[in-house]
Structure 1
């Protein structure tokens, strides 16, 4: 057991740290945790010096946990100079100390509980600081299918610790996506514009068809001429009259078109006489 004294704000604070190497440099000692995993993505086993093959020794787990908590707990680590390497200048920040404390707590919660440990061994669930992603999802999916579970094998599903968590997960509202909303609006605008265009095309076709039928009817009426004279120019005048009546409504337009029609008839007569 190592006894250290640091003076902080005029108070003498004693820290009892077990199993860690202390070094003196520049007149101030520092602590280096040589047992901490070198891997950037540790596992709950490696945090406490175990492996999945060797299993977990309950006594060693509890002992190591108490040592790490005494070192990295925020209330204690603020007053301890901890280094990431044996070098005195490689001092850990308070954020790094807090992160290690969270890792220790998470790893201990998994390894001390047999059900959580078994679930982690099969699916890597419950561990927030190590290998996850595709590997964890694949293992979780295989484990769930093997044991008859039907789910989307998502990380959130396997970490729903209570019925309330599972209920919230199943009834969670989808997050609003502005791009999806934008695409929906564009799609609706295109649909409305397309419908309006089709309506205009249909109206144009119907209008042309109606005009054609009206013209044919005018030709028939001009041919019959209602029992009046049946010479060619009389029928032509009658046809032009019905055509004008179908296209125009005001008296001014009728008078204007009547003059044009008569000029046309006279022009045709003159051509026929001249021919």
Structure 2
């Protein structure tokens, strides 16, 4: 994508991106860095390509104690947090519908997709409210409204809960100076997604292009004709957290190339 000049519009802002070492999270972190922010990223594993301009803090946010350690380290090191991007998402449960899923499948998915952002919000919000300034972004999914029961039942349910929670939180804290927004992407063309397509193609003895079309068909079609690129999602996030979006709060923005067939 063409490199744009954002005039350091996030200069002086302390930002945290969860799941920020690869895929969409990494693209978001790089976009915020480009806009002049101080960027902290967290994930279970260190980035494959180290970036000395970003502060990496290892954590497994599905564990409550790791979330608390992360909050403590960020606030003790930087004194505050201005922008929180709850990007972490996990969908590793087996396919097969309701009967294939155990309590552990449900609990692990809810921990990663719902309770991890809830805990971080709770940890960082008090200092945002005290300063009457801050932005929280929740990365949900179109599956919050368009569930695929055969393969991602707990993931879809957890993202629907995240969308509902985000709206409720916005109603509470926007009058106190903190903006809360949700972004629900559709299919994103990450490295993991490309590997997944390759696996589908091998299992079906088909081409990757045929596998790509099969996934789009399973979603009911993507009018735009392709998945989103991570940088496209990151660009929108960069706008939402900037002063240019100062009046936006409490909204769930769908980025799906037209996938969801309803208004």
Would the TM-score normalized by the shorter structure come out above 0.5?
no
Answer 1 or 2: which has greater strand percent: 2
Query: Normalized against structure 1, the TM-score is what?
Result: 0.24
Q: How does the TM-score come out when normalised to structure 2?
A: 0.25
- The structure number with the bigger radius of gyration is 1
Identify which of structures 1 and 2 has the higher relative contact order when contacts are C-alpha pairs closer than 8 Å and 6+ apart: 2
